[in-house]
Each structure stands twice: as structure tokens, then as C-alpha cells.
């Protein structure tokens, strides 16, 4: 079994219970689009449909994981 790289918990509700979702469409060739979904309603998806080859699906997955895990610093919340 391959070890899945870590996804950080949801930045809105804190849940670690996140689901990968993949949608397919067929317009000529199969195309796919990946998303990460949280039970609180957050969904982050790739902007574009890509050919559903294994290499492109893996690169989509890596790209969206990196985006999901990217967190802006939150400062000055205690100032008010
Ligand atoms: Zn959430």
C-alpha cells in the first residue's frame, strides 16, 4: 500500500476527515478533475479538466494537495 502524503486539516473547521473526489467527463477523450472536500462544505478543485492519464492525474493530485496545504499566516487576530 502506498503511503499517502499528508493533508493538513481543514482551515475552516479543523477536521482532518477530508475526502478526495474525482470527476470525469468525456469529450473526445476522458478528462478528469480532482477535488478535496471537507464535511463543512469546503471544496478545493483543480481549475482545469485534464486528460485522465495516470501521470496527469498524479500531477493534478500533487498540485491540489500543495494548494490545500498552503496556509497564509494569520496575524493580529488578538488586537481588537
Ligand atoms: Zn472543514
- Tens of pLDDT, residues 21-43: 999 988 788 889 999 999 999 99
Cα 22 off chain centre by: 10
Residues 6+ apart with CB under 8 A from 53: none
pTM over 0.75: yes
CA of 29 to the centre of ligand 1 (A): 33
* Ligand 1 centre distance from Cα of residue 66 (Å): 17
Q: How far is the CA of 43 from the centre of ligand 1 (A)?
A: 9
Residues 2, 65: Cα–Cα separation, whole Å: 16
Please tell me the distance between residue 11's alpha carbon and the centre of ligand 1 in angstroms: 7
Cβ 40 vs Cβ 13: under 8 Å: yes
In Å, what is the CA distance from 73 to each residue of 7, 11, 20, 43, 77? 17, 11, 25, 21, 11
What are the tens digits of pLDDT across the range 4-16? 678 999 999 999 9
Amino acid at each position: 500500500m502506498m503511503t499517502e502524503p499528508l493533508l493538513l486539516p481543514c482551515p475552516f473547521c479543523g477536521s482532518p476527515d477530508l475526502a478526495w473526489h474525482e470527476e470525469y467527463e468525456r469529450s473526445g477523450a476522458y478528462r478528469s478533475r480532482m477535488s478535496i472536500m471537507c464535511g463543512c462544505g469546503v471544496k478545493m478543485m483543480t481549475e482545469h479538466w485534464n486528460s485522465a492519464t495516470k501521470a496527469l492525474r498524479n500531477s493534478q493530485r500533487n498540485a491540489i494537495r500543495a494548494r490545500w496545504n498552503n496556509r497564509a499566516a494569520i496575524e493580529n487576530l488578538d488586537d481588537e
